Structure 1
Amino acid sequence: MPSHQMHESSPGEKVKLCFVLVGLVIRSLLSFSIKLIPRLAAGWPLGRILVVSYMRSLSWLSFSQSRTITVPTGQAIQKFCQKAGLFCKSVDVPSSSGPQATLHYIQIADLPQPRLLLYFHGGGYCHPIDAFGQLPFALECAHAASASSLVCLEYTLAPELPYPGQLLQAVSAVSHILETHNPSQILLGGDSAGGHLLLSLLAHIQTPHPAAKPLSESVQGEKFLGAFAISPWVSMNYNSPSFAQNASRDYLRAERIMPFIEMWKPSLIEVWAELLVGDGEFWGDVKVERVLLTSGEWECFYDDIVEMAGKLKAREVGVGGKVELCVGEREVHIQCAVDMAVGARHGKSAREILAWLRRVGGEKRGVLEEV
């Protein structure tokens, strides 16, 4: 099933959309000119300044207008693979309740160890994958981890499917993958809402959601090879100090997040939705060998991510330990995907993610070679 149905616009709506898009371009250029000098002084490349200015201006688009110009996740992945010359196999996965999801297997290399990276894209649970930033960076992550396949979950978006529908689809997808792979052959990754889905999945393995199939039997005491969450959306509240401190810097602000929450309809008392409800004891033994969280210093989610890292007992990236936290200086929300979309050089978080994946992949490969 596609992630969403594209909005069919009337002739009047199409004319209005054209005017809105022109206004969006003008607004982006004005924002670019205002931010140019201070952002250059902060070391930002021109492409990054321009794309962040554009993304800050997207609030001009209504939700239905955004649905008019975005294709479903599956279509975006197929077009990307055709252009890149990559083989992609799509498999429908029935959900225990609600619509079925689709797993898109992108073959990277024919390796003796069938390691794969299962990736959950972000977008506030309301928008499909971005084939210009999110998808190519996920592909680079899979290469860094020496994975033979990048597997992207096409989950149904809100408001068509509210909470906890995406978690149920993710559980069904992981159950399907575990029929052919051991947990030690699986890396989990996600950005923003996809990072939330990843952590929600780990919470489900700890304490199953009542509506979803338990994964404890499928995992059978084994741990996943690794999990990395890029700028994860960990709290449905938007009152932490970083929301005010970074409102003029980040493109994802409280007013952009509120409609997502209204459409997704999470339960704020459940740990699978409001991740910060879980305490340190709950998050202290996630079923993953290594975990990496990232945040931009200039993003609104910064304080929430740091709090989540504390519950996971994270240490600074590069120091070592089961859970690590990377903070990208002067970076905004999922900076790595933003930079990828315009061909800008990697910032700190992107470099650390790729280095972490090489370490995790290399450590496991070394163990296999010794055996």
Structure 2
Amino acid sequence: MNVAPPTGDTEETYKKVLAENEFPVDVEKFDGYSLGWIGPRTAKAVILYMHGGGLTEPAFDAHIQFLLNGWKVMKANDQDVSIAVLAYGLAPKTPYPVQNRQVVATIHHLLKSRPAEDIVLSGDSVGAMLTLSTLLHHKHPMPTVPALILPTPTSRFREIFVVSPGSGFITDTKSMQENHGKDFVTHDRMTLGKEILEASKEPGIDFPNPWILSVSAEETWWKDLPVGKVTITTGGDELWRDENLTVGERIKKYHDREVTVHCGEGEVHCGPFFDMMTGVTEDKAGTKLFKKWFQDFKA
């Protein structure tokens, strides 16, 4: 069940997968990171996607292929939308929390050409955690990270869809213990990733903190999130199941828009991507939900 970390970097993986699919490559470069566009930069709506990998590993081929497949479904439905894959800097070369700064800077860049209501935030694993931390950062600023400034006091991102939010901290939840050996992520792998981040993080940054471990945020921080609909998926056999369900219930308690929290029986961490990597042909419930989200998307 072990999945070897990908090689190269996210931008290289994006270029490779799109070339294999004979799809146009469009990389927008910034200082220390880039956006890989699936669809035109000028689309009305954009889904900003942040991949998993513990902030230390690049995107897998499956990340890019799954997103490309999703974009094709939206395009077939005549939706004017693009997906922008954020190739954020990886630790140890890029210390934490520079990644959060890159997310905020990217959002500000996207806001130059469209309202917040036409921006969707999405991600898996620590990329999903970046998504949640960005929402928290709006009202509860993360130290050393520039403020997230939206156009008006009532501006909201259209929605978020996050898969298996998780970061490399071994907690005392039931799922963290009983699913060790069921999930492809191991405690050893989590510890290694955490050690890399700790050794390379910027001075003065608490670790962990509520922005990298969202279950540790105060309950009331989930009030007034600058977003519309919220969807969180997790796997019944994943290490972070209990944390994800706890965060999901807290958001349900305080958020004033639709919140969907899905737990797929027998599914592991980042199930849609894991299944694609391992050749699973029959979609499990979490994958079906993600694909339906693309199918139902309206720009």
**Normalized against structure 1, the TM-score is what?**
0.71
Among 95, 102, 105, which residue is 2:34 paired with? 102
Q: Which residue of structure 2 lines up, in the alignment, with residue 123 of structure 1?
A: 53
2:228 counterpart SS class: coil
Query: What is the CA–CA distance in structure 1 between the aligned matches of 2:158 and 2:109, rounded to whole Å?
Result: 17
Counterpart of 1:349? Answer: 286
Shift in Å, 1:273: 2.1
C-alpha spacing 1:263/1:83, structure 2 compared with 1 (3 Å): same
CA distance change for structure 1 residues 330 and 187 in 2, over 3 Å: closer, same or farther?
same
Residues in 2 aligned to 1:144 and 1:232: alpha-carbon distance in whole angstroms? 25
CA 88–114 in structure 1, closer or farther in 2 if over 3 Å, else same: farther
Instruction: Verify: 1:312 aligned to 2:251, yes or no.
Output: yes
| 1:221 partnered with 2:160 | no
Structure 1 portions without partners, runs of 5+: 1-52, 59-65, 95-99, 366-371
| Correspondence 1:272-283 to 2 at 5 A | 272-283=211-222
Provide the residue aligned with 2:231 in structure 1.
292
1:31 corresponds to: none
Partner of 1:303: 242
- Residue of 144, 148, 169 corresponding to 1:236: 169
1:331 positional shift: 0.6
Equivalent position SS for 1:126? coil
Match of 1:332 in 2: 268
* Distance across 2 between alignment mates of 1:171 and 1:233: 20
Give CA deviations for 1:58-112 in whole Å, capped at 9, x if unaligned. Answer: 4xxxxxxx6xx71111111111111112122211223xxxxx211111217x99x
User: Which digits, 9 at most, give the CA deviation of each residue in 1:316-352, with x for residues without a partner?
Assistant: xxxx962110111111111111122325221100111
Correspondence for 1:178 among 111, 114, 117: 111
Residue-by-residue CA offset, 1:239-261 (whole Å, 9 max, x unaligned): 21112211121111222101111
Give the match's secondary structure for 2:143. Answer: coil
Q: How does 1:138-287 map to 2 (within 5 A)?
A: 138-143=67-72, 146=79, 148-218=81-151, 220-233=153-166, 236-265=169-198, 267-268=206-207, 270-287=209-226
Q: Structure 1's 287 and 235: CA in aligned 2 closer, same or farther, altered over 3 A? A: farther
Larger deviation, residues 72-81 vs 237-246: 237-246
Asked if residue 134 in structure 1 is aligned to residue 63 in structure 2, the reply is yes
Partners of 2:276 and 2:112 in 1: how far apart? 34
CA deviation after TM superposition for structure 1 residue 209, in Å: 2.0
| Residue segments in structure 2 that go unaligned for 5+ positions in a row | none
| TM-fit CA distance, 1:181 | 1.6
1:167 deviates by: 0.4
Quote how far apart the aligned CAs of 1:174 are.
Answer: 1.0
Asked if 2 retains the 8 angstrom alpha-carbon contact of 1:192 and 1:231, the reply is yes
Aligned length, in residue pairs: 287
Aligned-residue offset at 1:357? 4.4
Contact 2:95–2:197 (CA under 8 A) maintained in structure 1: yes
State the 1:147 CA deviation: 5.2
Q: Which residue in 2 is equivalent to 1:97? A: none
| Cα separation, 2, equivalents of 1:159 and 1:282 | 29
Alpha-carbon distance change, 225 to 255 in structure 1, aligned in 2, over 3 angstroms: same
Structure 1 counterpart of 2:104, which letter? Answer: V
User: Which residue pairs with 1:81 in the alignment?
Assistant: 18
Q: Distance in 2 between matches of 1:161 and 1:309?
A: 30
Q: Which amino acid aligns with 1:300?
A: L
State the identity as a percent.
24
Q: Is the 8 A contact 2:157 2:227 kept in 1?
A: yes
User: Offset at 1:268?
Assistant: 3.3
The 8 Å contact of residues 161 and 264 in structure 1, kept in 2 or not, is answered as no
In angstroms, what is the RMSD of aligned CA positions?
2.4
